[in-house]
Amino acid sequence: MADIRTQSLKKPVDVAEYLFRRLHEAGVRSVHGVPGDYNLVALDYLPGCGLNWVGSVNELNAAYAADGYARVKKISALITTFGVGELSAINGVAGAFSEMIPVVHIVGCPSTLSQRNGMLLHHTLGNGDFNVFANMNTSISCNVAKLNHPSEIADQIDHALRECQLQSRPVYIMLPTDMVQAKVEGARLDNPIDLTEPSNEPEKEDYVVDVVLKYLRAAKRPIILADACAIRHRVLNEVHDLVEKTNLPVFVTPMGKSAVNETHPNYGGVYAGDGSHPDVKEAVSAADLIITIGALKSDFNTSGFTYRTSQLNTIDLHSDHCIVRYSVYPGVRMRGVLRKVINQVSASELAVHPSPTVSTQVNKTDDGSQTITQAWLWPRVGHFLKAKDIVVTETGTANFGIWDTKFPEGVTALSQVLWGSIGWSVGACQGAALAAKDLGDRRRTILFVGDGSFQLTAQELSTMIRQGLKPIIFVLCNEGFTIERFIHGMEATYNDIAQWDFKALVDVFGGSKTSRKFTVKTKDELNKLLTDDAFNAADCLQFVELYMPKEDAPRALVMTAEASAKTNAQRE
C-alpha cells in the first residue's frame, strides 16, 4: 500500500534530491562545508545531483569560500552541521549578508522528532531549544526556512532560492535528519524555478526616467560613479551601455572596483573622497551631477566619510529604490531605469568633459631603492595583471593599495571592504578559483593577503591543493598588523604576529610536488618573477612571500586610518 503522505505525488523525490537539483539549476556546481552527523545522509545525494563536495578544513573557511564562489558564479551553497558547524560559519555568512552575496546555507539538524521531544543531544545548548541558532540567523539571512513538513518543503526551497538571488543575500535552510528522505513533488522540477527580477511599475519607472533625463540634460558636468551594488545586483552591462551611450566620465568606488572596464577612455579612476588621487578628486568635485549606481557609502569606501559632494547634485540608483536629489522613489529598481535612460539618451545632448587619465605610474613611484614599497607595488601589479584575472584582496594594506592598480579589461575584483573580516580572502580565493574552474574558464585567480590575515585561515590552502586549484598567492610579509598600527599602536606588541615559515605550508598541506614557492624581497626579484613566463602561465598553485616594510602603508590607508581613529575616539 502506498504511503498516504506520498501517494498524491506525481513524481516523488527525496527532499535532499529536490534541494540539490534546484541548487544545480540555479548555477551551483561545487558545495562547500564540513560534514557532521546531522548532515551526513544528505551529503550522499550530492554526486547524483551533479554537485561536487568540497570538504573545507573548517566551517568559517567554508563560508568564506562560499562567499568567494558566489562572487564569481553568482550563487553558492554551504552545508554545515547543527550548532557547532553553523556557528563556526556564522561570521562568514554575516559577511555575505553585509556585503550582499547570495549564499545558500543549509544546516543539517536533529530530526523533527528529537526537536519536539527536546532531547538532550550533542551540539545543543542542553536546554532543549532547537531554534536558538536559526533565530541568530534571522538577522543575517534574507530568508529562514525550517524544512519541518514535507508538504511545504518544495515551496520553501523555491522561495528561499528566489529570495537569495533577488536580494543577493544569504538564506538559511534547516534540514532535519528525518526530512532528508521525505518525499516531495518532483514534477515541479520540470519547470525551472523563477529567479527573474520583477519589473518596475511602468508609469512609475517612466516618471523616474524623465526626472533623471531632465537633470542629466541640464547638467554642465555630469559624471557616473559605479559602486558595490552595481556589481552585487548585476547591472554591469547597464553601466557599460550607459557609459557608451552617454560618453560621460565614469569613476568607481573602492567597492565598485572592476565594475567598469578600466582601459575604457572614459574611465577616470577610483573615487573615495579625500583618499582619491588629486585628479580624481578634482574631477568629481567639479561635477554638478553625479549619477551613482549602487552606492554604498561606508567609512572604508569613502576614506572615512570624506565625500564633499552635495545631494542636490546627486542621483542615486539602487537595487530597490532611486533617489533624485531629495526625492525618493521606493520600489523603483535601477535596472529598468538604467535600461530606459540608455535607450532614450544620446551623448550629443549632454555636456561631456574628458575623464582624468588613469596611468599606472610605476616609474613615478619608484624611489630608486630595492625596497618593495606600497606606493610602488600596486601600480606595478597593474602591469602584471591580464584580462579576466580574478583579483582577491584582503582587509589591510592590500585593500587600499589595490586602488592604485589599474586593471586590464574584464578583471573581477573581490574584496570585503564593508564587513572587513580578516582571513576572508584566503577562503574567498579558494571559492573564486573553484568557481572559475566550474565555469570552465581559464582565468587566473590572484590573491593579495597580509601576513596577519593569512594566519587566521591559512589551512584553506590545503583545500586549494586538494581541489587542484592554481591560484597565485601573494602573502605580504610586513611583520604584522600594519593597518592597525596606523589606527592605533604603531609600536604595540599586540600588533605583532608570530613569525611563520609561510611558504613551507604548501609542503605541509601536500603541495610540494604540484606547487611552486617563491620568496621576494627586492623590486628586481619581483620584476623578474612577474615577467617570468612560467609564473604568468599559472598552471599550478604558486605561493609568493613578498617582503615589505612594517611601517609602510598606502596613502589611502593612512588617511582612512586617521579618520577611523578619530571616529572611535569621538565623544559628545
Please, which of residues 475-504 interact with Mg ion by CB under 5 A?
478, 482
Active site residue 316: no
| Minimum CB distance to a copy of itself smaller for 66 or for 417 | 417
| Minimum CB distance to a copy of itself smaller for 268 or for 511 | 511
Our finding on whether 427 is near ligand TPP (CB under 6 A) is: no
The C-alpha atoms of residue 115 and residue 125 are separated, in whole angstroms, by 13
Our finding on whether 421 is near ligand TPP (CB under 6 A) is: yes
Residues between 6 and 35 that touch ligand TPP (CB under 6 A): 34-35
CA distances from 152 to 9, 156, 302 (A): 13, 6, 45
Residues 255-294 as x/- pattern, contact with a copy of itself by CB under 8 A: ----------------------------------------
Residues 343-382 as x/- pattern, contact with ligand TPP by CB under 6 A: ----------------------------------------
Sequence-ordered alpha helix ranges (H) in 247-373: 278-286, 334-344
Our finding on whether 268 is near Mg ion (CB under 5 A) is: no
Q: Are the CB atoms for 504 and 511 separated by under 8 Å? A: no
In the complex, least distance from residue 93 CB atom to a copy of itself, rounded to whole angstroms: 9
In the complex, least distance from residue 522 CB atom to a copy of itself, rounded to whole angstroms: 24
- E-strand ranges in 278-427 read 289-293, 314-317, 321-324, 327-330, 390-393, 412-414
Active site residue 122: yes
Options 24, 25, 37, 207; binder of a copy of itself; rule CB under 8 A: 37
Residue 294 binding result from a copy of itself, Mg ion, ligand TPP, none, given CB thresholds of 5 to 8 Å by partner type: none
Active site residue 137: no
Residues between 290 and 349 that touch a copy of itself (CB under 8 A): 296-300, 305
Burial of 76 per CB tally in 10 Å (0-12, 13-18, 19+): buried
The C-alpha atoms of residue 398 and residue 567 are separated, in whole angstroms, by 22
In the complex, least distance from residue 560 CB atom to ligand TPP, rounded to whole angstroms: 12
Instruction: For the chain, state the CA radius of gyration.
Output: 25
Helix, coil or strand: residue 449: strand
Our finding on whether 420 is near ligand TPP (CB under 6 A) is: yes
The C-alpha atoms of residue 294 and residue 272 are separated, in whole angstroms, by 14
Helix, coil or strand: residue 27: coil
Catalytic entry in 86, 99, 185, 451: 451
Helix, coil or strand: residue 520: strand
**CA dihedral of 119, 122, 127, 128, whole degrees rounded to 10:** -30
Length of the chain in residues, anyone? 572
Q: Are the CB atoms for 556 and 400 separated by under 8 Å? A: yes
The C-alpha atoms of residue 102 and residue 83 are separated, in whole angstroms, by 22
Annotation-wise, does 451 bind a ligand? yes
Binding-residue total with a copy of itself (CB under 8 A)? 96
The C-alpha atoms of residue 217 and residue 341 are separated, in whole angstroms, by 11
Our finding on whether 152 is near a copy of itself (CB under 8 A) is: no
Options 478, 515, 542, 560; binder of ligand TPP; rule CB under 6 A: 478
Our finding on whether 39 is near ligand TPP (CB under 6 A) is: no
Annotation-wise, does 480 bind a ligand? yes
Options 28, 134, 422, 434; binder of ligand TPP; rule CB under 6 A: 422
The C-alpha atoms of residue 355 and residue 407 are separated, in whole angstroms, by 16
| Minimum CB distance to a copy of itself smaller for 110 or for 356 | 110
Helix, coil or strand: residue 344: helix
Residue 352 binding result from ligand TPP, a copy of itself, Mg ion, none, given CB thresholds of 5 to 8 Å by partner type: none
Our finding on whether 254 is near Mg ion (CB under 5 A) is: no
Helix, coil or strand: residue 195: coil
Active site residue 313: no
In the complex, least distance from residue 180 CB atom to a copy of itself, rounded to whole angstroms: 9
Annotation-wise, does 61 bind a ligand? no
CA angle 491, 494, 500 (to 5 degrees): 100
Options 496, 540, 555, 558; binder of a copy of itself; rule CB under 8 A: 496
Catalytic entry in 14, 17, 27, 59: 59
Residues between 427 and 466 that touch Mg ion (CB under 5 A): 450-452
The C-alpha atoms of residue 514 and residue 291 are separated, in whole angstroms, by 48
The C-alpha atoms of residue 276 and residue 291 are separated, in whole angstroms, by 18
Residue 140 binding result from Mg ion, a copy of itself, ligand TPP, none, given CB thresholds of 5 to 8 Å by partner type: a copy of itself
Catalytic entry in 256, 396, 480, 511: 480
In the complex, least distance from residue 397 CB atom to ligand TPP, rounded to whole angstroms: 3
Our finding on whether 412 is near ligand TPP (CB under 6 A) is: no
Active site residue 240: no
Binding-residue total with ligand TPP (CB under 6 A)? 28
- E-strand ranges in 94-136 read 103-109
The C-alpha atoms of residue 142 and residue 308 are separated, in whole angstroms, by 33
Residues between 81 and 110 that touch a copy of itself (CB under 8 A): 83-84, 87-88, 90-91, 94-95, 97-98, 110
- E-strand ranges in 254-406 read 267-270, 289-293, 314-317, 321-324, 327-330, 390-393
Active site residue 480: yes
With a CB cutoff of 8 Å and minimum separation 6, the contacts of 364 are 379
Task: Show the 3-state SS of 471-506.
Answer: CEEEEEECCCCHHHHHHCCCCCHHHCCCCCCCCHHH
**Contacts to ligand TPP by CB under 6 A:** 34-36, 59, 81, 84-85, 88, 394-398, 420-423, 450-453, 476, 478, 480-484
**Contacts to Mg ion by CB under 5 A:** 450-452, 478, 482
Kindly list the catalytic residues: 37, 59, 122-123, 420, 451, 478, 480, 484
- Binding residue ranges for Mg(2+): 451, 478, 480
